[in-house]
Amino acid sequence: MVFLSEEGATRKTLITGGAGFIGSHLAERLLERGDEVFIIDNLWTGSLNNIAKIQSHERLHLVVDTILNESVMNELIFKIDRIYHLAAAVGVRNVMDHPVETLDTNVKGSEVALRLANRFKKKIFIASTSEVYGKHVEHDLSEDDNRVMGTVKKRRWAYACSKTLDEFLALAYYDEKKLPVVIGRLFNTVGPRQTGQYGMVLPGFVQSALLGKPITVYGDGTQTRSFMHVNDVLNAITALMDTPAAEGEIYNVGNNQEVSINDLAQRVKEMTGSDSEIEHIPYEKAYGPGFEDMERRCPNISKLKAAIGFAPSYDLTSIIQSVIDYFKT
């Protein structure tokens, strides 16, 4: 099935951060369904390797530039039909090491994308994050829950606050300017092409296990996370963008199967057949004094299910196996 714009032509879609882990998979998905795809990426955390097999595709257009370049963004958004805004500073390591770039990219970049989307009234998906919930521990997280943030003195929370501002701004454009906006809070997306370079836990574990290096767990390992395969994320966000009733709403996009980091490390070790030791390193040693982390992060996905009939198709075992297979090849 080829997706057409309202005028009957092939749909044109812009992906900011399209050479990144999620963005490159999304670009492939949209090309497969017949879209003409435009990518803008400054290649800070994205890579041309991620889009190597589609880079010469006749319906793929790549711009290597920053989303802060308004003249370039203006030209791109003018010519397309809809936007997936994925560009952001990602990874705990990046946030801790590059706070200025994190805030510039996440706040100013999103402001540019939303303002220009509104100028030409182009539908836009805003990729937010489970980090906006902060230090909640008592239950699975629902979209209307209050947020529990740490002090501004702790750099860890800069990413969460920047993405929260993105959400406020997106909803303001929807309410005041009637801009069609959909917001997805992504929970620990994993899969092929993701690396452990910026503090992503599962690929880091798998790489270490396959190389026979220690599998490093930060903190005591009792903190829990919920991992979702990138293919399931694509199923959810593309369906949300094709659902008019999702406009002006926020959705958790995640898998509600929860696992402790200790258990995750053990499962990776067993599934790789590795002799690697599992070692624990204090947060302070890894990220500096005063670092804080979420003790729990598990989504309530009932709203997403009600909107698009969504249920994850990958369980934790198949998610881990897909990452192992990727690094083996």
- Other CB atoms within a 10 A radius of the CB of residue 157 amount to 19
Cβ atoms within 10 Å of 4's Cβ, excluding its own: 13
Phi, psi (rounded to 5 degrees) for 104: -60, -50
Cα 236 → chain centroid: 12
- Rounded to whole angstroms, how far apart are CA atoms 293 and 282? 12
- Residues 126 and 111: their CA atoms lie apart, in Å, by 11
* Residue 41 contacts residue 22 (beta carbons within 8 Å): no
CB atoms within 10 A of CB 12: 19
Catalytic annotation present for 159: yes
> Cα(57)–Cα(60) distance, rounded to whole angstroms?
5
Task: Give the amino acid at 279.
Answer: E
Catalytic annotation, pick one of 159, 174, 287, 314: 159
List the catalytic residues. 159
